[in-house]
């Protein structure tokens, strides 16, 4: 049986995560007013309730937030929050192996969705990790699509590690202001595009050979 303290801690964390989601939803509406982006919180497809307070889901949910940038490009991200300075993508392990199996499948699906939406459709995709106690203000960090599988390894991620190992871009979050996730995402995407262009240029140069003519 779950201890009372653990249950209260989980409830507090859930409420804190909900507040962050609501703050992002409000900030995203401000982006729409400024004609920069139209982004909204998604919801899982609920089929009904089983027993007392247990929700039955008909299928997997899309990323937490989805929408469009000015100009029509798609954007999506999952939002992960921590009350402390460190976040970990948890794997649930319980007495019922079916619950652990479902939880692991959810994690794999979330990683795959973010990864494929960029690769296959060119969507601006990533994960935002919010560390509520990383400093005087909450830290919001955009992790680009190509580093999302790394996050799922269950490591403990603090601000410095996210920046150094996961190429996270820091979103400014001033007191009483908007979490600047879009600017961070666009900076990360520009860096990605530059890297891809450099790789393509190197491959082209190699294929052409030293004299500038195509190799046989």
Residues 134-175 have pLDDT tens digits of 667 788 999 999 999 999 887 899 999 999 999 999 998 877
Residue closest to 184 by CA, chosen among 71, 75, 50: 75
Q: Report yes or no: 58 and 47 within 8 Å, Cβ to Cβ.
A: yes
Q: What is the pLDDT of residue 15?
A: 72
More confidently predicted of 68 and 118: 68
* CA distance linking residue 216 with residue 209, whole number of Å: 10
CA distances to 22, 82, 148, 187, 195 from 181, in Å: 14, 17, 16, 10, 21
| Fold type of domain 19-208 | Trna Endonuclease; Chain: A, domain 1 (3.40.1350)
Reference 204, options 194, 195, 215; nearest CA is: 215
Q: Which residues contact 47 (CB under 8 A, 6 or more apart)?
A: 56, 57, 58
> Strand 65-69 to strand 37-41: parallel, antiparallel, or no bridges (unpaired)?
antiparallel
- Its pTM stands at 0.77
Averaged pLDDT score across all residues of the chain = 79
**Average pLDDT for residues 96-113, to the nearest whole number?**
73
Q: Tell me how long the chain is.
A: 216
């Amino acid at each position: 049986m779950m201890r009372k303290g653990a249950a209260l801690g989980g409830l507090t964390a859930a409420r804190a995560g909900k507040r962050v989601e609501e703050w992002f939803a409000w900030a995203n509406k401000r982006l729409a007013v400024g004609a920069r982006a139209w982004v909204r919180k998604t919801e899982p497809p609920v089929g009904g309730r089983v027993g007392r307070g247990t929700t039955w889901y008909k299928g997997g949910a899309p990323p937490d937030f989805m929408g469009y940038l000015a100009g029509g490009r798609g954007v999506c991200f999952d939002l992960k929050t921590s009350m402390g300075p460190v976040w970990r993508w948890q794997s649930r392990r319980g007495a019922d192996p079916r619950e652990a199996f479902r939880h692991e499948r959810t994690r794999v699906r979330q990683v795959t969705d973010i990864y494929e939406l960029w690769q296959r459709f060119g969507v601006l995709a990533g994960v935002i990790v919010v560390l509520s106690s990383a400093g005087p203000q909450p830290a919001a960090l955009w992790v680009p699509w190509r580093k999302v599988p790394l996050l799922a390894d269950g490591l403990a991620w603090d601000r410095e590690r996210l920046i150094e190992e996961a190429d996270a871009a820091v979103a400014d979050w001033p007191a009483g202001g908007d979490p600047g996730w879009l600017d961070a995402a666009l900076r990360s995407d520009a860096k990605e595009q530059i890297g891809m262009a450099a790789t393509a240029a190197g491959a082209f140069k190699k294929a052409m050979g030293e004299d500038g003519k195509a190799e046989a």
